[in-house]
Amino acid sequence: MLLPFDTLVHLDRSAGTPVYQQLANRLIALILEGALKPGMPLPASREMATLLNLHRKTVIAAYDELQQQDWIYTVERKGIFIAENLPEIKPRSFKAAARTGAYAENASFPYYEAMHIALPLYVKQTPKYTIDDGFPDPRLAPMDELLKASRELMRIPENRYGLISGASEGAWALREALTTHLNNSRGLNIHSQNILITRGGQMGIHLAASLLLKPGDKVIVAAPNYHLADLCFQQLGAHLVRVPVDAEGIDVDRIASILEKQDIRLLYIIPHHHQPTTVTLSAERRMKLLTLIRQYKLPVIEDDYDYEFHYSGGPLLPLASAPHQGQVIYIGSINKSLALPFRSGYMVAPPDFIAQCTYLRRMIDLRGDTLMEASLAKLFENGTIQRHLKKSSKLYEHRRDVLCDTLSKQLGSAVQFTSPQGGMAVWAQFDPSIPLVTLARRAGEMGLRMSDGSSYKYGVKDQNALRIGYAALNDEEIRAVVGILRKSVEGK
């Protein structure tokens, strides 16, 4: 009796691996699993082709492959049989699309699951437009200047060893350049030993939290908050104490009340263009918060989100720029400002804490991209980055205005928002009668990829809002995106 090959053999015609090779691999797997035993017959090529809805030549090619490897043999006028003496298993290259082998199934050993939020995608094909979370326009990135700087560095033979064996704390030249940039633009009073270069702000958050938190510790966060920071703290076993956000930022009076009653280990805050709501912490609340930080000796992770882009006068300086007795760990991202194709960020903290974070970083990532770090330093030194930020800021302000104007005209009362003072996104709150899940599905059918708001509901269930990033969209794209949103709202 023949096996039900039509259910045992699964082939993916869209995969990069040829179908005949997939069939051969699957039959080998059935032999190794014992489903096909030595001496058992295989269906003739015509019959197998009918069972699997394949061209007969595809099956013949698979059988030829198996026969060349001594897995099967042919007896004239009798058929095709599994070899009595199976070949030794030889190492083969991994096939990404193959669904056979030792790793085809889930793990058989227990493991701890990583915290995550499942974010469904509603666009099956490649989207024509995307509403992102608020990212810079990669079309504006100073890539020519970056590539020129890296070529110049690599032309000097003396540089090559240092670029290969860079320091875990980051390229010295970039730490020096960032020291100057942060002191000038943020009012910090730091030295290069206060800086650790990371692969983006998220790495900095995780490194700092890993050295500060143990299971059961309490962390004050905003409600709503940057969900990946929340997940990081919870993965480390911390309990989140959520504090609401209003038009002036996080409620500092509520923080004071919590500190009086509870033992809080850490405060995580985004005072400048809060993620996701885009509000900025008022000057009055900043002063109150700094007093609390000093009074309770409270460690703080200050996430420097979108600081470079501000449109309504000069920005308020970070908490880290004020006297804080070394309590504030300042986290920032370089690629968040420049739209670079690699991740680069930084942490600013007391030297002893930076040293410990460097040791921890080595356990998972010995060093960053030293060549790119050194190239970035060149762009800071020659003023390329400063000019790019100034030019981009003007353009993003214009795009913000275009988006806000178009949203008001096209969607009217269906969406509520406040034009942000800076950053790269608008916090758009949709009428409850228009669920974002429905909106995202309808928009996806028209080629627009957008969030359904899931990540912004983490810990705050009763909201129907999302961030609409505008920096990476030109005027025409903004109007097209809002047009699709309008049709989605209307149910067309």
- Do 46 and 195 fall into the same domain? no
In this prediction, residues 22-40 reach a mean pLDDT of: 87
Instruction: State the pLDDT at residue 160.
Output: 67
User: What's residue 114's pLDDT?
Assistant: 84
Residue 105 maps to a domain = no
Residue 96 pLDDT exceeds 60: no
pTM confidence score: 0.77
> Is 444 part of a structural domain of the chain?
yes
157 has pLDDT over 80: no
Q: Do 278 and 422 fall into the same domain?
A: no
Are residues 482 and 358 part of one domain? no
Domain boundary among 358, 386, 414: 386
Rounded to an integer, the average pLDDT of 194-199 is: 96
Is pLDDT of 138 > 70?
Answer: yes
* 323 and 428 both lie in a single domain: no
Please report whether residue 115 resides in a domain: no
- The reply to whether 254 and 382 lie within a common domain is yes
For 34-83, what is each residue's pLDDT tens digit? 888 888 899 999 999 988 989 999 999 999 888 888 889 898 888 999 88
Tens-place pLDDT, residues 379-422: 999 999 999 999 999 999 999 999 999 999 999 999 999 999 99
Pair 329, 270 in one domain: yes
Pick the residue with more confidence: 100 or 432? 432
Note whether 381 and 412 are same-domain residues: no
What CATH number is attached to the domain comprising 284?
3.40.640.10
Mean of per-residue pLDDT scores for the chain: 89
Instruction: State phi, psi for 271 to the nearest 5 degrees.
Output: -75, -25
Q: 341 and 205, same structural domain?
A: yes
Instruction: Give me the pLDDT at residue 123, please.
Output: 67
Comparing 74-78, 164-168, 206-210, which segment has the lowest mean pLDDT? 164-168
Do 219 and 353 belong to one domain?
Answer: yes
If one counts the domains in the chain, the total is: 3
Structure tokens at 450: 């957008």
- What is the predicted pLDDT for the residue at 469? 97
Domain hosting residue 282, numbered range: 143-386
My answer on whether 358 and 463 are in the same domain is no
- Based on the domain organization, do 332 and 283 belong to the same domain? yes
What are the tokens at 267? 């405060």
Question: What is the mean pLDDT of the segment spanning 274-293?
Answer: 95
As a whole number, mean pLDDT of residues 456-481 equals: 91
Kindly state whether residues 373 and 422 are assigned to the same domain: no
pLDDT of residue 456: 86
pLDDT of residue 122 exceeding 80, the answer is no
- Whether residue 102 lies inside any domain: the answer is no
Residue 252 located in a structural domain: yes
| Listed residues 370, 386, 402: the one ending a domain | 386
